[in-house]
Amino acid sequence: MESAVGARRGAAVTPPVTVIGVGADGWDGLVEPTRQRILDADVLLGGDRHLALIPPVDGQVRRPWPRPLSDLDGFLAEFGDARVVALASGDPFVSGIGTRLAAILGERLESIPAVSSVALARSRMRWSAESSTVVTLVGRDPNTLRRELAPGARLLVLSSDESTPAAVARILVEHGLGDSRVTVLGDLGAVDESRTEFTASDGPGTSIPRLHALAIEARGPAGPATSWATGLPDEAFEHDGQLTKRDQRASALSRLAPRPGALLWDVGAGAGSVAIEWLRAHPTTAAIAVEHHPDRAARIVRNAARLGVPRLRLVTGRAPDALADLPAPDAIFVGGGATADGLLDLCRDALTPGGRLVVHGVTFETEELLLAAFRAHGGELTRLSVEHAAPLGGRFHGWQPSRAVTQWAWTKPLTERENA
């Protein structure tokens, strides 16, 4: 392979890899310089559909993407110093192969995008970028859509295949948004481009093009999980009583401070409420819920899917042993089991510099531990006591206190000197 392409190239400098976006109009829609870049390539990569659009070239090696894409790094390494062109749909960086190639190739990667399906869909719907949100379901759990659902929302959904519209319709109905209007924009940019509409409660028709985007105008009442503010109602979660309650959860999350790209450990996760709200804060956050009770672990998975964050990672096991080999977190919440031998020291050590640790306790034993940690390491020690109005009988009401929670919040110093 390397000798053949080397003979064609006769060059010693490793060339870039070029990813080229191809629209639904195929070869005819490419400008001449882009066509020439494809024809001059030693190796042409892409999906079977894309490769079939390109005229044959003598001596050119053509390879479809490996399935699965998990060994894409090794696949690309096969081509050595060959001039490689990869084909993608539309804009390679809109739910496309471009992101994965960039992670492997870095500055070696060049990109020549076509008009993306998102741009075409917005144009067809006459929706501005500012008034609409893009959700990709390509290769993802359709429950990802749930995070974005709210009355009045305009959503552009990049579908995985022809089964996506029915899955989306079911989710909308489950959220009380059955009146939502859904537009199926098929084969955008092609000569046979199509457009059909349906109401979520009615469901889609039987003829759905495989390549399409969905435009959703969400209509219906607001449910309990439509807010991105911390502290969702307790009834938004399925639980057996092991739940960080709404007010204490909001307090913990404000100190954990979710940030784009940050990872949370939720230790003794119970219903998974803290990890789930952390993930709902931003699409690029990550979280690992650690829970040893099998029934609760299964409940965490259901809660995460229903609240739009199926990407939550679950580790079924007991801390601290279950924390071994987990990636370093930017924040840790310990909602249960804080008295486990060595757990708090392990959590403090595991945090990245500047990371945040929040621990809740309701027992004397845990409170004593947190007081000792506060004296030894500083931070913020808070006692959270909440009372709610409740009926006392007849027409009278009074305050009903919840169990008080002791909260220790600590931020890891940025340098070892600060930590000394």
Give me the mean pLDDT over the 26-40 stretch: 94
Residue 128 lies in a domain: yes
pLDDT for 217 = 98
With tokens 């993407």, the residue in question is 65
Residue 17 lies in a domain: yes
Asked if residue 411 and residue 399 are part of one domain, the reply reads yes
pLDDT level of residue 15 (50, 70, 90 thresholds): confident
Residue 153 tokens, joined: 């929302």
pLDDT for 6 = 45
pLDDT level of residue 122 (50, 70, 90 thresholds): very high
pLDDT for 417 = 55
pLDDT level of residue 419 (50, 70, 90 thresholds): low
Asked if residue 398 and residue 257 are part of one domain, the reply reads yes
Q: What is the CATH number of the domain that holds 106?
A: 3.40.1010.10
Entry pTM: 0.87
pLDDT for 148 = 95
Rounded to the nearest 10°, the torsion over CA 8, 10, 16, 21 is: -20
Asked if residue 259 and residue 358 are part of one domain, the reply reads yes
Choosing from 115, 144, 167, the residue where a domain stops is 115
Residue 384 lies in a domain: yes
Asked if residue 150 and residue 20 are part of one domain, the reply reads no
Q: Whole domain around residue 28: which residue ranges? A: 2-115
Asked if residue 198 and residue 96 are part of one domain, the reply reads no
Residue 223 lies in a domain: no
* Cis peptide preceding 320, ω within 30 of 0: yes
> Cα(96)–Cα(242) distance, rounded to whole angstroms?
40
Q: What is the CATH number of the domain that holds 129?
A: 3.30.950.10
> Cα(145)–Cα(5) distance, rounded to whole angstroms?
45
How many angstroms from the chain centroid is the CA of residue 199?
A: 27
Summarised one tens digit per residue, pLDDT across range 221-250 is 877 778 888 999 999 999 999 999 999 999
Q: What is the CATH number of the domain that holds 330?
A: 3.40.50.150
pLDDT for 13 = 56
Asked if residue 325 and residue 256 are part of one domain, the reply reads yes
pLDDT level of residue 390 (50, 70, 90 thresholds): very high
Residues with Cβ within 8 Å of 60's Cβ and at least 6 positions away in sequence, in order, are 39, 41, 42, 43, 44
Q: How many domains does the chain have?
A: 3
Asked if residue 193 and residue 325 are part of one domain, the reply reads no
Choosing from 115, 149, 177, the residue where a domain stops is 115
pLDDT for 11 = 44
pLDDT for 352 = 97
Residue 227 lies in a domain: no
Closest CA to 44 of 80, 12, 79: 79
Q: What is the dihedral sign for C-alpha 333, 337, 343, 344?
A: positive
pLDDT for 418 = 55
Residue 222 lies in a domain: no
Summarised one tens digit per residue, pLDDT across range 167-192 is 999 999 999 999 999 999 999 999 89
Asked if residue 186 and residue 69 are part of one domain, the reply reads no
pLDDT level of residue 133 (50, 70, 90 thresholds): very high
Portion of the chain with pLDDT greater than 90, in percent: 86
First to last CA, the chain: 57
Summarised one tens digit per residue, pLDDT across range 302-332 is 999 999 999 999 999 999 999 999 999 999 9
Residue 363 lies in a domain: yes
Residue 225 lies in a domain: no
Portion of the chain with pLDDT greater than 70, in percent: 95
Rounded to the nearest 10°, the torsion over CA 211, 161, 173, 219 is: -20
Long-range contacts of 389-395 (CB under 8 A, 24+ apart): none
Choosing from 166, 182, 217, the residue where a domain stops is 217
Asked if residue 100 and residue 10 are part of one domain, the reply reads yes
Q: Burial level of 215, CB count in 10 A (0-12/13-18/19+)?
A: buried
Max distance between CA atoms of the chain, in angstroms, equals 94
What is the average pLDDT score of the chain?
A: 92
Asked if residue 394 and residue 289 are part of one domain, the reply reads yes
Asked if residue 149 and residue 91 are part of one domain, the reply reads no
Q: What is the dihedral sign for C-alpha 32, 37, 41, 44?
A: negative
Asked if residue 183 and residue 164 are part of one domain, the reply reads yes
